[in-house]
Amino acid sequence: MPLHVPPAPAPALRSVLTALGSPTAVREARTPSLRAAQGPATPELPLPVHVLDRITPQGLSATRLAGWRFLIRCGERAVAAADSMLTPDGWAFSHFFEGPYIPSTERALQQAEALQQPYQPRLLSVPGLYMLTLWLHGDTTADAAEGHPAPSDLLVPLAPAPPGISAHRPYQVAELLPVLTHRATPVKLLGSPA
């Protein structure tokens, strides 16, 4: 089934296109692959980036939209990514970056394309666990800027994943939630205040 990639806000895309067209922005980026890229660099596969700040024993807290991420493709592969963020003045370019999450995101998206059910792809960051997942939301018509993971949605941890959580294995939210809750709950030490 094809993924239903939501359209990014036009100003977010424009901010990334402007940064890509700026020799100063590209030269100052800490992305050797982007600086060394031959040929045109194009932003593709816009994904909303949601942040999950709290996980409680009762479940997931609401997520908040932190920005939009675009994979930057040169030729046959993505060489970097660009993030845009919402500011009081609207959408603005944030930064370019590269690293293991770029090929991991591509791999997870390819895996998701092979699934039988249609999904709306998003990224879900869990800062408390230093974890990023591809969030496959079952409601393909939902506003990509809102919501929280439904129990039947899939989360595909990107590599590197936290110890004990398999990267690139699709988990239903209801299956992964107990693991995340256990990991995110601070352990009380003997002799510590209650």
Which portions of the chain are predicted below pLDDT 70? Answer: 1, 56-62, 182-194
pLDDT of residue 40: 86
Global pTM exceeds 0.75: yes
Positions of E strands within the chain: 42-51, 55-56, 59-60, 64-74, 77-87, 90-97, 120-126, 131-137, 154-157, 171-172
Coil, helix or strand for 141?
Answer: coil
Residue-wise pLDDT for 23-74, tens only, equals 887 777 778 888 887 778 899 999 999 998 777 666 666 689 999 999 999 9
pLDDT of residue 128: 83
pLDDT of residue 39: 79
pLDDT of residue 23: 81
Hey, CA dihedral for 15, 21, 23, 28, is it positive or negative?
A: positive
Pairwise CA distance, residues 165 & 160, whole Å: 10
Assess contact for 152 and 135: CB atoms under 8 A: no
pLDDT of residue 60: 62
| Interstrand relation of 64-74 and 59-60 (parallel, antiparallel or unpaired) | unpaired
Assess contact for 151 and 174: CB atoms under 8 A: yes
